[in-house]
Chain A
Amino acid sequence: MSESNNVLVRVHDVDKVFRRGSEEVHVLGGAHLEMPDGEFLALMGPSGSGKSTLLNLIGGLDRPSEGTVEVGGLRIDRLSDRKLAGWRARHIGLVFQFYNLLPVLTAERNVELPLLLTHLSRAERRKHVAAALGVVGLKDRSQHYPRQLSGGEQQRVGIARAIVTDPTILLCDEPTGDLDRTSSDEILNLLSALNEEQGKTIMMVTHDPHAAARASRTLYLDKGKLATEPEE
C-alpha cells in the first residue's frame, strides 16, 4: 500500500486485438507499465508499434482486449461508456498531433469546451479559461479562430484546453509531430514547466529523441515489449 501510493497509472498484461478483415492483429501483447504520480514519461518506438493504442487505453478512449488498466486506483477498463466519458472529462487532458480544435470556435471557446461538462458558472469558466490561456502565453489571442493562428499557437491552445480542467494526467500523442523546431521547443518548454512547476503527470508519445530528452523517463515500445533501451 505504502509503496503503491504514488503509482498513478498501472497497466497490467494488456493486449489489444484489432480486426483487419478476417485477420486479427494483436497489438501490445501483454504489456506492463507503471507510472508514478508526477512523472513526465516519453514513449518512443517505431510507427505502428502500438504507442497510440497504449495512450488511448490509459486515457479511456478505448478498452483493452486483455489485461487491466488502473488510473488513480480505478479500474477504468471496467467502466461503462457513459461513466468513461465522465471520467475522461474529469481526469484526462488530451493533446493531439493535429490539435483537433473546433474551427468554428475562437481560441477562448475551444479552451472552454471541457468546462461545459462541469458545473462551473459562466463567470467561473471565463476565469479558468483566462488562466489557462495565460499559462500558454496566448491571452491576447483569445478571440482568434484556429485558422488565424500558427501551428505552434494552435497547439498551445490545445494544451490550454487540456489543462483547463486541471486533469489528473496529460496525454500527448506526438504533440510536436507537426511543428517546426522553434514551435516544438516552445511546446516542450511548456510541458516541462507544467511537469516541474505544477507537478502534472504527463505521458508523451514522440518520434523525436530531442523531445524525449525533455522527459524524466523514456520507454521504447516494440513488438509488444516496453523497454528502457531501443532495440537494435
Chain B
Amino acid sequence: MVGLINWLSQITAVTKFSLRTVPERLGSSASAVFGIAGVVAVFVGVLSIAQGIRQTMVTSAAPEGAIVLRSGADSEMMSGLGREATRIISEAPGVARDAEGPLSSAELFVILNLPKRSTGTDANVPLRGVERAAPRVRADFRLVEGRMFEWGRNEVIAGSAAAREFAGLDVGASLEVGREQWQVVGIFATNGDLSESEIWTDAKVLQPAYRRGDSFQSARVRLNSAGSFQEFKDALTSDPRLDVKVARQDEFFAEQSIVVVTLITVLGTIIAVIMGLGALIGALNTMYTAVSERTREIATLRALGFRSGPVVASVLTEALILALAGGLVGGGLAYVAFDGFQAATMNWQSFSQVGFAFAVTPQLLVQGAVYSALIGLVGGLFPAIRAARLPVATALREL
C-alpha cells in the first residue's frame, strides 16, 4: 500500500515537472495540438452530416406514426394502394381519431424537377398529394408563411427545407405541374423531419394531373399510441382484402436512411483514420522531441533513483493532455463551423433531395475526444518506452 502511494506520488511529481517544461517546447507541442485538432474537426464535421441526416429522417419521426405500403414495396415510389384499401386502413383498430375523423391520410408521391438555388442545376423534389388529415397525422405540422392550399384547387405548399434548397418555391410563385401552372401559397414546417423537403397538394387534384385514377401509393396514419402498432399491423396483414406491409414510421425512415448514413459514416471514418495517421506521426514526433529534449532531466531523475514507471507515465500524460487539448479545439471548431449548417442530399429511396442540418451532437464530441485521446496515447507510447529504456549512464554523458 505504502509502495503504491509512493509510486503514485512519484508519478505525480515527475508529471508535474515535465508539464512545466512544455512551455519550453511550445512550437512542437502546439503543432501536435493543432494537428489533432484538425483531425477531430474533420472527423466530427463529417459525422455530423450523418447525424444530421439521421435526425431528419429518424429522430424527428413521431413514434405513434405508421406507414402502409403495398407488400413487397420498399419505398413509396414502388408502392400502390387502391381507394378501397385506403378506406379499410383508415378504419383499422388502433388508428387515432379526432372530431373530423380518423387520423389517416392516403397519399400520392410524384417527383418534380426544379433548379437548386445553390447551383441552378435541376434536382428532384417530391410532390406529395395528401388528404385532409395529413397535417394532423404529422405531429408538428405548422405553416410558417402564407396559407394552406385550398382543397380541390391547383395550389401547393412547400416544406421549408425544399423552399430553402430550390428556386421558385417562394409564396406567390407558380410551378409547372403536368402542363399547368400551380400556385405556391404557403411554406410549412414539420419540426425538421423529412416532410420539410417535400411539396404538398391535394391528392384529389394530383391524381388526374398524373393520370393516377383513384389510386394512391401509401397511407400515413397516426395511432392512439406507439403501443397500438401491433394491433393495427395484425388487423391489416390478416385482412384477406389487403396485400400490404405495415411499418412504424421511425423504423421505415431509419431503413431508408441507412444507406446514406452508413456511407457517410464509413467515409468519415476512413478520412478520419487517414488524417489520424498523419496526426499520429505528428504526435510521435512531438513526443520523441520532448523526450530527447528532456533526456538530461530524465537521466538525472533516474540516477537519483526514480523508477522508469513514473517517467513513462509522465510522457504518456503529457501526450494525453496535448491530444485532449487538440480534441477540444477540434470539437469546438467543428461545433462552431458545422453545427446547424444547412445542406441537402439525395434520398436514395425516393431519388429526391432531402434537406438537413449538420448535427454536432454531444455524443460526436465525446467520440472526437476519445479519438484524440487514442492518438495521444499511441503517439506517446513509443517515446515513453524510449524514455524508460534510456541507459542512465550513457544518457548522462551525452550532455
Contact = CB atoms under 8 A, between A and B. Distances in A.
Interface of A: 52-53, 56, 59, 61-62, 81-82, 85-90, 92, 94, 96, 98, 100, 102-105, 113-114, 116-117, 119, 161
Given A52-B397, A62-B393, A102-B17, A116 B9 contact: yes
B205 to A, nearest CB: 80
Given A96-B396, A117-B10, A88 B303 contact: yes
A143 B297 CA distance: 20
B17 A85 contact: no
Contacts of A81: 308
Given A52-B397, A62-B393, A117-B10, A102 B297 contact: yes
B300 A102 contact: yes
A82 to B, nearest CB: 6
Per DSSP, chain B at the interface is helix
Most central of A87, A94, A114, A116 by chain B CB within 10 Å: A116
A86 B305 contact: yes
A78 B363 CA distance: 53
B296 A82 contact: no
B110 interface: no
B2 A61 contact: no
A103 B23 CA distance: 12
25 contacts: A61-B393, A61-B396, A62-B392, A62-B393, A81-B308, A82-B307, A85-B305, A85-B307, A88-B303, A89-B304, A94-B303, A96-B396, A100-B303, A104-B17, A105-B17, A113-B13, A113-B301, A113-B304, A114-B304, A114-B305, A116-B10, A117-B10, A117-B305, A117-B306, A119-B2
Per DSSP, chain A at the interface is helix
Nearest to B2: A119
Most central of B10, B304, B393 by chain A CB within 10 Å: B304
Nearest to B297: A102
Nearest to B302: A85
B392 A61 contact: yes
B161 to A, nearest CB: 56
B305 A88 contact: yes
Interface string B281-310: 000000000000000110011111111100
Nearest to B388: A81
Interface string B349-393: 000000000000000000000000000000000000000000111
Nearest to B305: A89
B6 interface: yes
B20 interface: yes
B11 to A, nearest CB: 11
Nearest to A113: B304
A98 B303 CA distance: 14
Contact of B6 (A56, A85, A117): A117
Contacts of A96: 300, 396
Contacts of A59: 303
A89 B310 CA distance: 15
Interface in B296-326: 296-297, 300-308
A85 B397 CA distance: 18
A98 B17 contact: no
Contacts of A53: 393
Nearest first, the 10 A-B pairs at minimum CB distance are A89-B305, A62-B393, A104-B20, A88-B305, A100-B300, A56-B393, A61-B393, A85-B307, A116-B13, A61-B392
Contacts of B306: 85, 89, 117
Contacts of A105: 17
B4 interface: no
Contacts of A62: 391-393
Most central of B301, B302, B303, B392 by chain A CB within 10 Å: B303
A157 B301 CA distance: 15
Contacts of B297: 102
B237 interface: no
